[in-house]
Amino acid sequence: MIYLILTQVIIACIFAGNALFAKDKNTVSSWLLFRGNPQQDGFLPTSIKSPFEIQWKISLKDSIEGTAVVHDGRVYFGCMDEKAYCLNCKDGKEVWKYKGGPFKAPPSIQDDVIYIGDIDGNFHAIDLNTGVKKWGFATNGEISGGANFFKKNILFGSQDENLYCLNESGKEMWKFKMEGPFFGSCAVIDGKTFAAGCDSTLHVLDAETGKELSNLDLGGQTGATPSIAGEDLFVGTMSNNVLGINWKKPKINWNYKPERRSQPFFSSCAISKNLVVVGGRDKKIHAIDREKGLEIWGFQTDGKVDASPLILNNTVIAGSFDGNLYFLNLDDGKLIQKLKLEGEISGSPVFYEDSIYIGTSKGDFFRIKPKG
């Protein structure tokens, strides 16, 4: 009996810790959301060894601008050719494809259903195994962000200025109206969700009811997805800065703006224990002190960095419009390796088992693995 109680206490302590490290094991073995988990933090405590090589590549007839998801040996993503694809992870062979509108948004997976919006404003629920449509929901604006989940409900934003909550049958449960388009995905933590878009405001909402609990002036519009770890929320803006926010108060803890040639941030942040890593339209990958908001290092590329970085333990992986996928040391930003993928990279890298999956504007989709 004592052993059972101690075991329960240990388990409770583990899950009561920082949300950055309290990840369900399925998050490591599957990549089900845009940034890997409901907090959208873009971090996995999993090491990967260099050097890396392309395992396989498939080529489509239009741009792949969104991020993929991976589950149970299959990878799923949308393409601007008006199709969503399911491929076998092992060899890249097509399992099924689904006809919708041009797809820029990342898909999301819950309970054997894949959810994805298109630029025509239609939101699709597709059977994960067969590629057959289950239901659809129409909005009045482009959908460029991915869905998130609260319990069984589905949360996603549209450029018609609304954040929507649907049940698993596609019925609208609530919607929250903003004063500007919603470009990114929403984050979910502790029964709260967050809407941030072109009204220059962070809205903290009750995920159950859609009621606004608080809001915070961001001082600029944002097209990025908020990233959360515990009480900390990080988001870049079109006013050329990245904000560190205590979302519970809410208040801005720090405001980071590059000293030279600052440009908007459309990339979402990846969060490690000490650093926040984000790409900018100044062609740099920025690493910012998580507590103080000071630049720790910057890595210069030859193109805009709209793609959101991924942190795997001590390795940063980020794509650029220069066509390269960069692997950097998290501590000092030193280049480990770069892989030339030719086309512009606007989607973010995702990790499944031992591989990276990513697409380009040329319509190429890659599986990348450590050599050997």
**pLDDT tens column, 244-277:** 999 999 999 999 999 888 899 999 999 999 999 9
For the chain, the average pLDDT equals 92
Q: Is 248 buried (19+), middle (13-18) or exposed (0-12) by CB count in 10 A?
A: middle
Task: Give the DSSP letter of residue 51.
Answer: P
pLDDT at 18 over 90: no
**pLDDT tens column, 165-203:** 999 999 999 999 999 899 999 999 999 999 888 899 999
**pLDDT tens column, 112-167:** 999 999 999 999 999 999 999 999 999 999 999 999 999 999 999 999 999 999 99
313 sits in the region (left: phi over 0; alpha: psi -120 to 50; else beta) called left
CA 169 and chain centroid, separation = 24
Domain residue ranges in the chain: 30-370
Q: What's the angle, vertex CA 330, arms to CA 314 and CA 31, rounded to 5?
A: 55
pTM greater than 0.85 (yes/no): yes
CATH topology of domain 30-370: Methylamine Dehydrogenase; Chain H (2.130.10)
